[in-house]
Structure 1
Amino acid sequence: MAYLNKLRLFIRKPFSGLCDFNRATTAQCRKPLPIWLRRDIPPAGKIKRVKGILAELNLQTVCVSARCPNLPECFSKGTATFMIMGDSCTRACKFCAIKKGKPAPLRADEPQAVAQAAQRLGLSHVVITSVTRDDLPLGGAEHFAKTIRAVQNQLPHATIEVLTPDFQGNLDAIKTVIQAKPDVFNHNVETVPRLYPSVRPGANYARSLAVLSYTKDFAEKAGKRIIIKSGLMLGLGERRKEVLSVMRDLRSVGCDVLTIGQYLAPSPNHHPIVNFVEPEEFEQYHQEGLKMGFLAVASGPIGVKLRQHCHCYGQTAP
């Protein structure tokens, strides 16, 4: 029952996960945006406040570093996805605006800074992600764990979601994160296997599935009820049958929640947008996902709220 209540609370929160996919700004897209991707810019007051708190505590967000077009909307609502372990990645995915380079040493005070920011922003759901740090022991998993615990101590009633790299498939790294008891463990497969060489050359599809599978198995054996989540970008040249195949793969390894969003290129130097997927097709994937047994599916071009696309244990979110 506690797990069910936790999942229901998670579903009721505004969906911020499409920040994981929509790494672009309108001006940088070569293709003109279709009407369903155009939105009004929200008032600047709350955006300025969020930026001020983040700057004061010297914190990174994936919203800024990945040039997410959802930034104005999320910041205006007082939310942000904290990006820990620096602003330089040891990989160079072709869809991502985060810079590749030699990362700086970890900040010992960063976990507490994230917790302070989350408290000052009044967050009830805290999302923590990171750059990929293949240079660190266990890929920086212990830093993830420290950050989770710091937020738990500062905001004991908040739910915590982690969006992790693959840790090169290191089981001890995954175990380290799980033992810190996040409420949601998110690792994105991002695209279909055929496109990995051109989109995610430093990653491996089978390894990403293994990360999710091990997380599910270890959490259940340890009695930790953790929601397993993953996500896909569309518009990179994938085919419908490939998307459905990935969805089935994710269900087979115990993925509970799925997010599907439109890819937007961060710059002309990144992987091009092959096509814009229409809202009707996103809705078809939403329905297919529910039939496959996902507890929740957020499938839409941009800025979708998870609560609008969920059926959980017979409950329809309003």
Structure 2
Amino acid sequence: MILGSVCTRACRFCNVATGRPDLLDPHEPEKVAQAVEKLGLKHVVVTSVDRDDLPDGGAEHFAQCIEQIRKRSPHSTVEVLTPDFLKKDGAIRTVVKAKPDVYNHNVETVPSLYQQMRPGARYFHSLNLLNKVKELDPEIFTKSGMMVGLGEIKEEVLQVMDDLRAAKVDFLTIGQYLQPTAKHAEVKRYVTPEEFDYYARIAKVKGFLMVSATPLTRSSYHADEDFLKMKVAYQESLYVKKASN
């Protein structure tokens, strides 16, 4: 996680500290790249807190991390999980230009719960971000995830799937929300494994290249393995399209 440990948002499901953010470390991108090289990582996920205080939301910092990792570990694949860059013109373009292998941005929950769970975010802005990534660079795989058990209903989850597919999202993750502390939003319901299997089947039918839907699924759950599976699924989809023509 880059850009410090203090977030400018206060989402009711997240246990990251909210307050005055840390000063940016100008050497952080190089330090991240050194760590990736030293650990010999084949796939790395770079994420961050929200930094509404920065003019670009931290986009340039993300880009520098990608660039430094490429220099030191050219065979490593890079996945970014970015904030929504709300009201940060040009931020998405900055990250996309650095060409991560996967661009992840989570919608987190259904739109009816945004005001309660993500008061600083906007559902359709997140959809537009994901769609913009594909517009700028169709070769980048896009990914998004959501939690269930916060009070949503099945039909809302299915609508989110449709919205994400309309934004050309390739990879969907769905996991059970777990309350981090007594101060956070309560778990309204524990979704059964059978329901997760149902969501996974429906998501595949709707056209996602890759789906991970289990109680323990998280944004970076088996990210390295699933990235390879997604690449295979993409090649298979191209073959099917070619054969049908």
TM-score (norm 2): 0.89
CA distance, structure 2, for counterparts of residue 170 and residue 254 of structure 1 = 22
CA distance, structure 2, for counterparts of residue 240 and residue 226 of structure 1 = 30
Q: How far off is 1:170 after superposition? A: 3.2
CA distance, structure 1, for counterparts of residue 70 and residue 222 of structure 2 = 25
Deviations 1:186-243 (A, max 9, x none): 00000000000111011000110010011111113xxxx1000000101101100000
Q: What amino acid maps onto 2:199 in structure 1?
A: Y
Q: How far off is 1:171 after superposition? A: 4.2
Q: How far off is 1:169 after superposition? A: 4.7
CA distance, structure 2, for counterparts of residue 284 and residue 192 of structure 1 = 17
Does the aligned pair in 1 maintain the 2:55–2:88 contact within 8 Å? no
CA distance, structure 1, for counterparts of residue 10 and residue 168 of structure 2 = 28
For 2:184, what is the secondary structure of its paired residue?
coil
CA distance, structure 2, for counterparts of residue 108 and residue 203 of structure 1 = 27
Q: How far off is 1:159 after superposition? A: 0.4
Which residue does the alignment assign to 1:215? 133
Distance 1:109 1:214, change over 3 A: same
Supply the RMSD in Å over aligned alpha carbons. Answer: 1.6
CA distance, structure 2, for counterparts of residue 121 and residue 262 of structure 1 = 30
Which residue does the alignment assign to 2:182? 268
For 2:145, what is the secondary structure of its paired residue?
strand
Which residue does the alignment assign to 1:279? 193
**2:64 aligned to which of 146, 150, 158:** 146
CA distance, structure 2, for counterparts of residue 121 and residue 171 of structure 1 = 35
In structure 1, list runs of 5 or more residues that go unmatched. 1-82
Which residue does the alignment assign to 2:240? none
Q: How far off is 1:120 after superposition? A: 1.7
Which residue does the alignment assign to 2:121? 203
Which residue does the alignment assign to 2:215? 301
Q: How far off is 1:312 after superposition? A: 1.6
Q: What does 1:166-245 correspond to in 2, within 5 Å?
A: 166-220=84-138, 225-245=139-159
Q: How far off is 1:118 after superposition? A: 1.2
Which residue does the alignment assign to 2:164? 250
For 2:58, what is the secondary structure of its paired residue?
helix
State the identity %: 52
Q: What does 1:7-18 correspond to in 2, within 5 Å?
A: none
For 1:302, what is the secondary structure of its paired residue?
coil
CA distance, structure 2, for counterparts of residue 130 and residue 230 of structure 1 = 15
CA distance, structure 1, for counterparts of residue 30 and residue 84 of structure 2 = 24
TM-score (norm 1): 0.69
For 1:280, what is the secondary structure of its paired residue?
helix
In structure 2, list runs of 5 or more residues that go unmatched. 238-245
Q: What amino acid maps onto 1:312 in structure 2?
A: A
Relative contact order higher in (CA < 8 Å, ≥ 6 apart):
1
1:85 aligns with 2:6: no
Which residue does the alignment assign to 1:114? 32
